[in-house]
Amino acid sequence: MGEIRIGLIGAGYMGKAHTVALQAVGAIFEPTLRPVCEVLATSTPEGAAGHARRWGWRHATGDWRELVNDPHVDAVIIATPPRTHLDMVMACIGAGKPVFCEKPLGANVTESLAMTEAVERTGLANMTGFNYIRTPASQLARQIIASGEIGDVIQVTAEHVEDYLHDPALPASWRTRIATGTEAGALGDVAPHIVNACLRLVGPIESLVADTRIVQATRPGPHGPEAVENDDLGQMLLRFANGASGSLSFSRTAAGRKMGYTYRITGTRGALAFDQEDQNALWLYDASRDASRRGFQKLLMGPAHPDYLAFNQGVGHGTGYNEQIVIEMRDFLQAIATGESVWPTFRDGYEVDRVISAALVSACERRWVDV
């Protein structure tokens, strides 16, 4: 088993999650390449050094460019806000290093396409960070749909709603400013995850109509009230290329919802339902059963389901959020080791960003838009 030295840019929420995953993936999946936490970069040398010491990174730097150009770094993980992604990704590509970038891939669809085309020209391993779709339950849902078990998909109802900005007293941040975030607020932060799920489970989205809203017009800023510049919530109606219809909701102000990533998929022979707040269960409805036995069946995840056994051997014992990131790291290491693309690549991240871009146009112009 060989080693691969990883550089991580960012020490926030996702930076710690990736650190945990890098330290766990070798024992859980025994990949061909075993990752080494080589260099951690944050915005200051002091902050980087402190996090590296606590988390177990060998070296630290306050300059991400130093990390990318370090000959001892073989591959890079980018876990920073979207406005920073373009320069970092392009530098990694220029240095010939495989790169994993958190979603959304770009601050806009033009950036996403530029990064995608640049990395595809080189053949470097690349991935976009969509972790929720990697739960054993969602992987099972994909298998059930692909096998035709619930028939042809005719309708999808999906949402990703959370309440991390429900409190009006919470201050403005990079997420609420276009200059540091993106034009899309909740549309760019939580919606990409559930759009990714729709693309993965049902297929390409042909057209959509979207509506968005800013709920909290101002938030406390460093110099007084500050205008919120992007959406707090919204909805989309979807038309899929396979003929299915869909509705999708997204919000960062949904009181009481902590991880409201859900989907209900109806087919001609049955249906599926999933809720990330109960991520170790998938609900299956079989319309072919006798009328006296019809009803949603709760399938508890266990060793028979995708990627579950690597973590534990007990049905219903469950996996959690960090396990999703571990599975991501397994896939990224596999892409590097084999030289073959592993979903979701930058191209897949770009496809999500195309949908988000179309939704922005639709909400602004108040019309249906082809994706």
pLDDT for 228 equals 98
Select from 165, 159, 174, 158 the least CA-distant residue to 214: 165
Q: Are residues 125 and 256 in the same domain?
A: no
175 sits in which H/E element: none
pLDDT for 50 equals 98
Where in 107-230 does DSSP place strands (E)?
A: 126-129, 153-161, 205-213, 218-221, 224-227
Answer yes or no: is 72 within a domain.
Answer: yes
pLDDT digits (tens, 9 = 90+) for 237-280: 999 999 999 999 999 999 999 999 999 999 999 999 999 999 99
Check pLDDT > 80 for residue 1. Answer: no
Domain final residue, candidates 132, 158, 193: 132
**Exposed, middle or buried by CB within 10 Å (0-12, 13-18, 19+), for 30?**
exposed
At residue 348 the predicted structure's pLDDT band, cuts being 50, 70 and 90, is: very high
Supply the pTM of this predicted model. 0.96
Domain final residue, candidates 77, 97, 132: 132
> CA-CA distance, 250 to 352, in Å (whole number)?
14
Percent residues over pLDDT 90 in the chain: 99
Q: Are residues 18 and 141 in the same domain?
A: no
Q: Are residues 211 and 103 in the same domain?
A: no
> CA-CA distance, 174 to 172, in Å (whole number)?
7
Domain CATH number, residue 175:
3.30.360.10
Contact present, 105 and 346 (Cβ < 8 Å): yes
Q: Are residues 242 and 324 in the same domain?
A: yes
pLDDT digits (tens, 9 = 90+) for 186-227: 999 999 999 999 999 999 999 999 999 999 999 999 999 999
Q: Are residues 289 and 326 in the same domain?
A: yes
Q: DSSP readout, 24-80?
A: HHHHHH--SEEEEEEEEE-SSHHHHHHHHHHHT-SEEES-HHHHHH-TT--EEEE-S
Q: Are residues 44 and 95 in the same domain?
A: yes
Q: Are residues 80 and 169 in the same domain?
A: no
Q: Are residues 236 and 156 in the same domain?
A: yes
Q: How many domains does the chain have?
A: 2
pLDDT for 292 equals 95
Q: Are residues 126 and 250 in the same domain?
A: no
Helix (H, G, I), strand (E, B) or coil at 121: helix
> CA-CA distance, 321 to 301, in Å (whole number)?
15
pLDDT digits (tens, 9 = 90+) for 114-124: 999 999 999 99
pLDDT for 114 equals 98
Q: Are residues 365 and 240 in the same domain?
A: yes
Answer yes or no: is 221 within a domain.
Answer: yes
Select from 264, 238, 233 the least CA-distant residue to 249: 233
Domain final residue, candidates 108, 132, 156: 132
Percent residues over pLDDT 70 in the chain: 100
> CA-CA distance, 187 to 232, in Å (whole number)?
8
pLDDT for 103 equals 96
> CA-CA distance, 284 to 296, in Å (whole number)?
5
Strands 260-267 and 270-275: antiparallel
Q: Are residues 145 and 174 in the same domain?
A: yes
> CA-CA distance, 289 to 306, in Å (whole number)?
26
Answer yes or no: is 125 within a domain.
Answer: yes
At residue 341 the predicted structure's pLDDT band, cuts being 50, 70 and 90, is: confident
Q: Are residues 206 and 277 in the same domain?
A: yes
Average pLDDT over residues 334-352: 96
For 195: left if phi > 0, alpha if psi spans -120 to 50, otherwise beta; the answer is alpha
Q: How many CB atoms lie within 10 A of CB 170?
A: 13
Round the average pLDDT of the chain to a whole number and report it.
Answer: 97
Domain span at residue 310 reads 136-340+350-370
> CA-CA distance, 219 to 222, in Å (whole number)?
10
Answer yes or no: is 113 within a domain.
Answer: yes
Domain CATH number, residue 79:
3.40.50.720
| Dihedral sign from CA coordinates of 249, 254, 256, 259 | positive
Answer yes or no: is 345 within a domain.
Answer: no
Answer yes or no: is 334 within a domain.
Answer: yes
Calculate the alpha carbon distances from 53 to 37, 57, 58, 117, 370 in Å. 11, 6, 8, 37, 49
Contact present, 355 and 208 (Cβ < 8 Å): yes
> CA-CA distance, 191 to 212, in Å (whole number)?
12
pLDDT digits (tens, 9 = 90+) for 151-177: 999 999 999 999 999 999 999 999 999
